[in-house]
Amino acid sequence: MNRSGRHPVSVPNLAKNAPSPQESSPVPLGSRRDLLSRCGMGFGSLALATLLHPNRAVAGPLSPRPAPLPSNVRSVIHLFMNGGPSHVDTFDPKPMLRRYAGKPVPGGNLKTERPTGAAFPSPFRFRRYGESGLPVSELFPHVARSIDDICVIRSMHADVPNHEPSLLLMNCGEARQVRPSLGSWLTWGLGTENQNLPAFIAMCPDGYPIQESQNWQSGFLPGIYQGTYINSRHTDIARLIENIRNDRTSPGDQRRQLALLRAMNARHLENRGGDDALEARIQSFELAFRMQTEAADAFDIRQEPKHIHDMYGTGVHARQTLIARRLVERGVRFIQLWHGQGQPWDSHDDLEVQHRRLAQQCDQPIGALLRDLKQRGLLDSTLVIWGGEFGRTPAVELPKKGSNQGKINGRDHNHWGFTMWMAGGGVRGGYAHGATDDFGFRAVEDKVHVHDLHATILKLVGFDHETFTYRYAGRDFRLTDVHGRVIEELIA
């Protein structure tokens, strides 16, 4: 499926009955005839082109393409709680921890990155929400309001208790080697609905998470499928998107430049009797000119009414989450929102204070996002994914030289069992899948490996993870490598 008729490596040839890009593109690229007449070319060359290439149309590498399997999902928002939020303090209550507070966990502790000690009950209270009655801790009251739209996966597990490999596994399906990220796979597979905005946007305030831009790398896929990083701390559009603004040439002058350029390129094209590559480049300037206004508009949340601002709250998380909704409305394919630079959720100590602070920053915006998408009728077509690269131990972390500073009030990394949730996009709302053991150490029931999550996400978006492949270095690569199974229970 990775071969188009014309080029050895190309966009996926997915559907037998792929509609014309012109039909499926919500942003009119301009028909061939428009383009030619704008270029000041006569009908003669148009007729020539049509004769030579009947039933064909120019399509770009990011032109929208239908998924091979039925799916309503048009966009994905991945809310990445980097550092690893604690599941027993958020979505996976463990009353047994209270009973064993301060005592050893029966059955012993599993090996994680650092030594851990006695059972550490959650300092946060849980309440049941919604018709489903699923429990959510006091850290996420706004998210909890949408619990009936949320599918909580309590039996996630990964491979190792370290940030770097776990981040790569969660994003790219492989812990060490260079592989494309989920967002790159999807933009390669589906293109994007809006040619005036990047297809895949990774927002993180103040800098990179650890492992940096490898988290949104395109690996062996073409570089245009890599995530565009945006430091959401900035408010000036010129600092958000490279080269989006020209601070030395006025828009009026730029229009004059483009008119002259168009005339010169049209003459050049005509002298050569037409050429797809030449035409594609001519079009790209028209697109770029439009992108300048459209991108500025997409990131300008000041256009939102007061009640929306009130709903999302204030601060950088409110801003980036609200921008994400505006991007979804405009047809951006994949948006990843990182909680912050480095590994903010990594509460090795002062867990109560740190988790409360972190949740306060993002709970209201995320809750608002879910309700806002729903009220706009966008939740069905938007898959929202929440979680970290792993969870945290139910046992308290013990002090160790160089870490923990002698405080014994935090939790270590835990890849044996943790929680993620998904909402919208055809997932089964108000449902909790799988379980960890009585203490929350290890996933035991209906376990879901990260590969399984990927397989399920691909299914939701319309791909069979086993046949969605890219030929590279003599092999057909998959996001799930040789692993993964679709967890049908997660799908509505």
Partner 1 sequence: MPVRIAAAFVLLSTGLLSANDRSDYFEAHIRPLLVAHCVRCHGPDRQESGIRLDSRAHVLEGTDHHDALVDPSDPESSRLLQVIAWNEDDVQMPPDSPLPSGAAAAFRTWIQDGAVWPKASEFGRIQDARSDWRTHWAWQPVTRPDPPGPGHPVDAFIRKKLAEHGLDLSPRAPLRVLVRRLSVALTGLPPDRDDLRAAAQQSDSTADAWLDALTDRLLASPHFGERWGRHWLDVARYADTKGYVFRQDRNYPDAWRYRDWVIRAFNSDMPWDEFLTRQLAADRFPDDQTPEDLAAMGFLTLGRRFLNNPHDIIDDRIDVTMRGMMGLTVTCARCHDHKYDPVPSADYYSLYGIFDSSMEPGDAPSPLRMVDRPKPREPVIFVRGSAARRGDPVPRRFLTAFSEVAPEPFTDGSGRLELARAITSRRNPLTARVAVNRIWGHLFAHPLVRSPSDFGMRSDPPSHPELLDHLAAWFMDHDWSVKRLIRHIVTSETWRQSADRRPDAETVDPDNRLLARMSRTRLDFEAHRDAILAAAGCLDPALGGPSVDITTRPFSTRRTVYARIDRQNLPGLFRTFDFASPDAHAPQRYETTVPQQALFQLNSPFILDMSEAAARTARESGAGEAAAVRQLYEQILQRTPTEEEQHQALQFIRSDQPDPAAGWSYGCGTISPSLKRLESFRLLPVMIDGAWRGSPALPDPVYNWSLLTNNGGHPGNSRSLCVVRRWTAGRSSRLEIRMTLEHPSEQGDGITSIVLHNTETVLDRVSVRHAKQVRRISRTEVQPGDTIDFVTFCGKSASHDSFRSDIHIEETDGKRTRVWHSVKDFGSQNAPQATDAWTQLAQVLLLTNEFVFVD
Between residue 147 and residue 166, which ones bind partner 1 under the rule CB under 8 A? 164
Residue of 109, 155, 171, 211 that binds partner 1 (CB under 8 A): 211
- Contact status: 47 vs partner 1 (CB under 8 A): no
- Contact status: 52 vs partner 1 (CB under 8 A): yes
Nearer to partner 1, 101 or 310 (CB): 310
Nearer to partner 1, 178 or 408 (CB): 178
- Contact status: 184 vs partner 1 (CB under 8 A): no
* Cβ(336)–Cβ(203) below 8 Å: yes
Q: What is the DSSP string of 179-240?
A: ---HHHHHHHHH--S-TTS-SEEEE-TTSPBTTGGGGG--TTS-GGGSPEEE-TT---HHHH
| Residue 334 bridge partners (DSSP) | 76, 200
* Cβ(77)–Cβ(337) below 8 Å: yes
Q: What is the DSSP string of 191-208?
A: --S-TTS-SEEEE-TTSP
User: Least CB distance from residue 290 to partner 1, whole Å?
Assistant: 8
- Contact status: 305 vs partner 1 (CB under 8 A): no
- Contact status: 445 vs partner 1 (CB under 8 A): no
| Residue 129 bridge partners (DSSP) | 134
Nearer to partner 1, 20 or 375 (CB): 20
- Contact status: 296 vs partner 1 (CB under 8 A): no
User: Least CB distance from residue 125 to partner 1, whole Å?
Assistant: 34
- Contact status: 196 vs partner 1 (CB under 8 A): yes
Nearer to partner 1, 245 or 428 (CB): 245
Residue of 115, 130, 141, 274 that binds partner 1 (CB under 8 A): 274
Instruction: Report the SS3 class of residue 400.
Output: strand
C-alpha 383: how far from chain center? 9
User: Least CB distance from residue 336 to partner 1, whole Å?
Assistant: 16
- Contact status: 469 vs partner 1 (CB under 8 A): yes
- Contact status: 303 vs partner 1 (CB under 8 A): no
Residue of 176, 357, 376, 400 that binds partner 1 (CB under 8 A): 176
Residue of 83, 93, 121, 219 that binds partner 1 (CB under 8 A): 219
Output phi, psi for 156, to 5 deg: -65, 150
Output phi, psi for 438, to 5 deg: -60, -20
Residue of 102, 106, 133, 251 that binds partner 1 (CB under 8 A): 251
Measured CA to CA, the distance from residue 397 to residue 440 in angstroms comes to: 15
Q: What is the DSSP string of 325-384?
A: HHHHHTT-SEEEEESSSB-TT--SS-HHHHHHHHHHHHHHHHHHHHHHHHHTT-STTEEE
Residue of 60, 117, 135, 394 that binds partner 1 (CB under 8 A): 60
User: Least CB distance from residue 464 to partner 1, whole Å?
Assistant: 5
Q: What is the 3-state secondary structure of 125-176?
A: CEEEECCCCEEEECCCHHHHCCHHHEEEEEEEECCCCCHHHHHHHHHHCCCC
**Contacting range for partner 1; rule: CB under 8 A; set: 56-64, 76-84, 117-125, 383-391:** 56-64
| Phi-psi group of 109: left, alpha or beta (phi > 0 → left; psi -120 to 50 → alpha; rest → beta) | beta
Residue of 28, 70, 131, 248 that binds partner 1 (CB under 8 A): 248
State the distance between the two ends of the chain, measured CA to CA, in whole angstroms.
28
Nearer to partner 1, 74 or 319 (CB): 319
- Contact status: 489 vs partner 1 (CB under 8 A): no
- Contact status: 264 vs partner 1 (CB under 8 A): yes
Residue of 34, 276, 310, 445 that binds partner 1 (CB under 8 A): 276
**Contacting range for partner 1; rule: CB under 8 A; set: 11-19, 74-82, 329-337, 438-446:** 11-19
User: In 399-461, which ranges are E strands?
Assistant: 411-414, 418-423, 431-433, 435-436, 443-445, 448-449
- Contact status: 236 vs partner 1 (CB under 8 A): yes
CB-side neighbour CA atoms (13 Å) of 438: 11
User: Binding residues for partner 1, how many (CB under 8 A)?
Assistant: 105
